[in-house]
Amino acid sequence: MTWADTAPVRVLADRRIVGLVAMVLALIGTALASIGIGARSIAPETVWTALVAFDPQSTDHQIIWALRIPRTLIGIGVGIALGMAGAVLQGATRNPLADPSILGIHAGAAVLVVIGIFIFGLTSFSQYVWLAFAGAGAAMLFVYSVASLGREGATPVKLALAGAATTAALMSVVSAVLLTSLNTLDEIRFWQVGSLAGRDMSIFTQVVPFLLLGTVLAFAIGRTLDGLAMGDDVARGLGQNVAVSRGLAGLAAVILAGGATAAAGPIAFVGLTVPHLARAITGPSYRWILPYSMLIAPLLLLGSDILGRIVAPPGEVQVGIVTAALGAPVFIALVRRRKLAEL
């Protein structure tokens, strides 16, 4: 192969790298905006001073470190987790509609968390995080098992239908519990719609190990996802054990989505739309889709959180509502432009 033959590939790789750098810078800028914008606007110079020379006597500095920085860090972590979970699920299942909410992962985590609060009186992240993981894993296993019934196996349509039915059934349980217990409703009402408000640094420090583990696992199977996305026969031809590969992908998605759901509640559409946006930029290789999803998703989540703070002052709209309002038309536009055919 000559230099002329490899030149277009090198140019594409260079563009992808430049794109990643640009998104990192955009994420830093969005994070700084998230720290400064809110019910009490804080000037950029005050934000910078608080970051490099904290003054405990300053009210603005206290707000930044006690409220804004934990909220921003959790938003970044949850965004990374949801974006990568959606990309992993879409690659592993060859389903362009796959994401934690559609495949029942969010609902499974939510139902066990609600039951834990209702029956056992759990109130902290460290108490119910394991319930979120257990519910997420059980729901995904159930959906995949149901979709696998029959000769055709777990086709994309069957996965979507099984996930939708499972999500509806589990959320009906959540609604039934909340209607019969005002205490549980008060404890979980902001968590249920997906929110970054009121989270402190302790939640971030507890969820980070899970998100790091899930992220490392997702990147480790990036090449495997390329094979799975081309079909089981191609994957086997490349020497992959399809069952093991899908199991690792499912484990990564459960760890990522379970941790994100436990920290911020079930936030929809981020994991669904972000991989398609990444794929439209990078092409079909998951070795590029994963890092792009890892950056686009927190940009979307933090941007939505900032928007939710400024559209209805002095209150705010929870981020899960904003992402749903933004994500639905974006996904419809992607479908209309036939981006799903690029999966």
How far apart CA 160 and CA 143 sit, in angstroms, is 9
E-strand stretches of the chain: none
Domain 3-97+200-342, what fold?
A: ABC transporter involved in vitamin B12 uptake, BtuC (1.10.3470)
Write out the two tokens for 139: 């729901």
Count of CB atoms situated within 10 Å of the CB of 231: 12
C-alpha span between 100 and 257 (Å, rounded)? 6
Q: Report yes or no: 227 and 235 within 8 Å, Cβ to Cβ.
A: yes
Domain ranges of the chain: 3-97+200-342
Q: Is 314 helix (H, G, I), strand (E, B) or coil?
A: coil
Distances (CA, A) of 285 to 132, 145, 266: 31, 28, 28
Contact, 124 vs 203, CB < 8 A? no
* Strand blocks (E) in 33-140: none
CB 48 within 8 A of CB 320: no
In this structure, which amino acid lies at residue 112?
Answer: L
Q: How far apart are CA 227 and CA 285, in angstroms?
A: 10
| Among candidate residues 84, 68, 82, the one with its CA nearest the CA of residue 265 | 82
What is the predicted pLDDT for the residue at 121? Answer: 78
How many Å separate Cα 324 from the centre of its chain? 13
* Tokens standing for residue 306: 């900032």
Per-residue model confidence as pLDDT tens for the chain (343 residues): 444 445 565 666 678 889 899 999 999 999 999 999 987 888 889 999 998 888 989 999 999 998 999 999 999 999 999 999 999 999 888 877 778 888 888 889 888 888 888 888 777 766 777 888 888 889 988 988 888 887 766 666 787 788 889 999 998 988 888 888 777 776 676 667 788 887 888 888 988 999 999 999 999 998 889 888 887 788 788 788 887 888 888 889 989 998 898 888 888 889 988 998 899 899 888 999 999 999 999 999 999 999 998 887 777 888 888 998 887 777 677 566 644 444 5
Contacts of 178 (CB under 8 A, 6+ apart): 114, 184, 185, 188, 189, 192
Instruction: Please give the torsion angle defined by the CA atoms of residues 268, 271, 272 and 274, in that order, rounded to the nearest 10 degrees.
Output: 120
Euclidean distance between CA atoms 153 and 338, whole angstroms: 25
In whole angstroms, give the CA distance from residue 339 to residue 334: 5
Q: Please state, in angstroms and rounded to a whole number, the distance separating the CA atoms of residues 79 and 103.
A: 18
Q: How far, in Å, are 45, 68, 98, 201, 270 from residue 275 at the CA level?
A: 35, 28, 10, 28, 9
pLDDT of residue 4: 47
CB atoms under 10 Å from CB of 281, counted, come to 14
